[in-house]
């Protein structure tokens, strides 16, 4: 995997099957134009935060659920060429109306910073958005590598950290606004894959109790603005 498209959006709970159907219709287009994997994850354990959280990131309403999704591409160039072809594909007009408010969808391109473990069909996902200062990139990568080993030791199958590369400003929502990123910060789009929710719950408890996870005096990001949540995959191909 060499490049990632990341998405966060709000979908009415009543439209869950409509969203799955919509994503399933879009899937062949992504694969046809170069994508290697598309994963859609339905909000399951998405807590409210004091400063930032997934719900506020997309201005989710009480009857809406947050989606955390990504598409993996071989390279940034393949993504750009593939998306251009998709937008010009007349078959895309047959997709129909989106079962969610597209104006509040957050999207952007990310360059992999760390990718460890086996890529496989996953049973549960922990998703994260993190604001990291440009000059702390290497420090963040080092911290993430140490955490990755601990997550995988306790049952996770894959840990991915990706660095904000092309994050457009949105009129209503965007990645930078989601974590209140400053001009000197980038947004990290990160996830941890688990075989199942049961393995995740047991593994996460062990991770949180692991002495090696205790933060030091020089944490390379503002944890108060980090967004996190647990998600159940509804499409993974």
* Structural domains of the chain, ranges and CATH numbers in brackets: 3-236 (3.30.70.100)
Q: What is the pTM of this model?
A: 0.96
Q: Give the C-alpha distances (Å, rounded to integers) separating 114 from 142, 159, 171, 187.
A: 9, 8, 30, 14
Q: Region of 235 please: left (phi>0), alpha (psi -120 to 50) or beta.
A: beta
Q: Over the stretch 180-225, which tens digit does the pLDDT of each residue have?
A: 999 999 999 999 999 999 999 999 999 999 999 988 878 999 999 9
Find residue 65's DSSP bridge partners: 11
**Which residues face 129 on adjacent strands?**
189, 227
Is 1 a residue whose pLDDT tops 80? Answer: no
Tokens standing for 185? 């910060």
- pLDDT tens-digit map of 83-134: 999 888 888 777 778 999 999 999 999 999 999 998 777 899 999 999 999 9
What is each CA distance from 27 to 11, 19, 24, 131, in whole angstroms? 18, 12, 5, 30
**Beta carbons of 180 and 52 less than 8 angstroms apart:** yes
Q: Residue 69 pairs with which residues in a beta bridge?
A: 7, 40
Residues 35-70 pLDDT 10s: 999 999 999 999 999 999 999 999 999 999 999 999
Least confident of 39-43, 95-99, 142-146, 152-156: 95-99
> Are residues 236 and 121 in contact, defined by beta-carbon separation less than 8 angstroms?
yes
């Amino acid at each position: 995997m060499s490049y990632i498209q990341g998405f966060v959006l709000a979908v009415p709970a009543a439209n869950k099957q409509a969203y799955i159907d919509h994503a399933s219709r879009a899937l062949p287009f992504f694969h046809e134009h170069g994508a290697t994997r598309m994963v859609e994850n339905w909000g399951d354990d998405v807590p409210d935060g004091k400063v930032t959280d997934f719900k506020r990131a997309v201005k989710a309403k009480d009857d809406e659920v947050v989606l955390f999704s990504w598409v993996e591409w071989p390279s940034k160039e393949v993504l750009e060429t593939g998306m251009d072809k998709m937008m010009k594909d007349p078959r895309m007009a047959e997709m129909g109306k989106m079962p969610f408010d597209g104006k509040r969808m957050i999207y952007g391109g990310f360059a992999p910073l760390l990718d460890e473990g086996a890529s496989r069909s996953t049973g549960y996902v922990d998703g994260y958005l993190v604001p990291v200062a440009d000059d702390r990139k290497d420090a963040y990568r080092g911290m993430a590598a140490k955490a990755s080993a601990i997550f995988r030791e306790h049952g996770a199958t894959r840990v991915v950290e990706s660095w904000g590369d092309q994050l457009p400003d949105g009129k209503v929502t965007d990645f930078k606004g989601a974590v209140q990123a400053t001009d000197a910060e980038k947004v990290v789009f990160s996830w941890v894959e688990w075989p199942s929710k049961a393995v995740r719950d047991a593994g996460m408890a062990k991770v949180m109790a692991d002495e090696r996870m205790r933060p030091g005096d020089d944490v390379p990001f503002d944890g108060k603005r980090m967004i996190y949540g647990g998600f159940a995959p509804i499409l993974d191909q």
